[in-house]
Amino acid sequence: MPTSQVQNRIDLIPASAFSFEELTEAYNHTRVDYMVPMPMNANKLREYVLHYDIDMKASAVAVDGNEMLGLAMLGVREKRAWISRLGVIRSNRRRGTGTALVDHLMAHAEQKQAERIIIEVIKDNVAAHTLFSHKGFVPTRELLVLRRPPGPPRLEIPPARVEFLGYTAARDLLAQRTSIPSWIDETESLLNVGNLAAIKVSLADGSHGWLVYQNTIFQLGRIVIQTDAGDPLRVGRALLYHLHHQHQAQDTKTENLPLDDPHWPVFKEMGYLVMFHRIEMVLNFPKSAPES
């Protein structure tokens, strides 16, 4: 079992050396007193690894002998990487474990020729923000995690031509998106999770746009919304109205809507509540000088 010793009795072992059950137990222990606990089970963690292209060999678990101290995971895609599920068990904090895990993931990201590495920190998590700032990460934007309870929309909207579309159309629409997605709602992530559907609307004044979402039995989620022409508020209102009119019995959760997204006011009108805020932070690796 390969290890990388980083300091006093702390070793870093590839996450691939552990079962999903072991990793889940360790992760949940790191979140006992966390600002937003987000508990996992083994099946959810296995799906998480697949959906977000987690490299289990580059991800790491910190141990002291047989005791697990913490863990962190690294998502890897073309020219970019993503730090996720970083956590240290409360009784083992303040001994450099978090810093060691971050350094380990940053080194692996560079080895995999990533040009940048991304992290999402919950707003007001001062310790995490300080750690990543010291490592050179720079805040780029604020992201919203939203939830809406089941129920019909309560807004009146102008008549519109509406099309309800399936997976193939949803995939094609995602290829046309103009917004800058986070790792969680990148097109790669959405295609990995599957169960995608779409809605297109056209209003009488020529405004039009589309919405892609994940549709599961109990929940809607992963909403991507785009106005191609006209007022984003009018287009967004029509799209969300028809989404929730069509799926009145389903809870809705969507992650990482940018705070400055022009459709955000319509989400509020439709009854979406902010669960918490994230701060996206990015570190750009220095480009290597070309070989002479």
Q: Does residue 214 share a domain with residue 193?
A: yes
Q: What's the whole-number mean pLDDT along residues 96-117?
A: 95
Q: What is the pLDDT of residue 234?
A: 95
Question: pLDDT band for position 289 (50/70/90)?
Answer: low
Q: Does residue 121 share a domain with residue 197?
A: no
**Joined tokens for residue 61:** 């678990």
Q: Does residue 252 share a domain with residue 151?
A: yes
Given a contact cutoff of 8 angstroms between Cβ atoms, the answer to whether 104 and 7 are in contact is: no
Indicate whether 291 belongs to any domain.
Answer: no
Point out the least confidently predicted range of 26-35, 142-151, 182-191, 250-259: 26-35
**Joined tokens for residue 36:** 């937003």
Q: Does residue 170 share a domain with residue 265?
A: yes
pLDDT surpasses 90 at 90 = no
Indicate whether 166 belongs to any domain.
Answer: yes
Residue labelled with tokens 């300091």: 7
Given a contact cutoff of 8 angstroms between Cβ atoms, the answer to whether 67 and 22 are in contact is: no
**Joined tokens for residue 151:** 């129920």
Which of these three, 139, 174, 189, is where a domain ends?
139
156 contacts: CB under 8 Å, gap ≥ 6: none
Indicate whether 285 belongs to any domain.
Answer: no
Model confidence over 234-249: pLDDT tens digits? 999 999 999 999 999 9
Which of these three, 119, 139, 159, is where a domain ends?
139
pLDDT surpasses 80 at 36 = no
Q: For the whole model, what pTM was predicted? A: 0.90
Indicate whether 286 belongs to any domain.
Answer: no
Q: What is the pLDDT of residue 292?
A: 46
* Residue 9 backbone zone (phi > 0: left; psi -120 to 50: alpha; other: beta): left
Q: Does residue 161 share a domain with residue 207?
A: yes
Indicate whether 292 belongs to any domain.
Answer: no
Which of these three, 79, 108, 139, is where a domain ends?
139
Model confidence over 203-214: pLDDT tens digits? 999 999 999 999
For β-strands 219-229 and 251-258, DSSP reports them as parallel
pLDDT surpasses 90 at 147 = yes
User: Could you tell me what percent of the chain has a pLDDT over 90?
Assistant: 81
Q: Does residue 249 share a domain with residue 199?
A: yes
pLDDT surpasses 60 at 124 = yes
Q: Does residue 65 share a domain with residue 112?
A: yes
* Domain around 274: 146-279
Model confidence over 126-135: pLDDT tens digits? 989 999 999 9
Point out the least confidently predicted range of 94-98, 99-103, 122-126: 94-98
Model confidence over 255-283: pLDDT tens digits? 999 999 999 999 999 999 999 999 999 99
Point out the least confidently predicted range of 34-38, 76-80, 118-122: 34-38
Given a contact cutoff of 8 angstroms between Cβ atoms, the answer to whether 157 and 67 are in contact is: no
> Could you tell me the CATH number of the domain that includes residue 133?
3.40.630.30
CA-to-CA distance for 68 and 90, rounded, in angstroms? 11
Q: How many domains does the chain have?
A: 2
Question: pLDDT band for position 2 (50/70/90)?
Answer: very low
Indicate whether 227 belongs to any domain.
Answer: yes
Indicate whether 29 belongs to any domain.
Answer: yes
> Could you tell me the CATH number of the domain that includes residue 259?
3.40.630
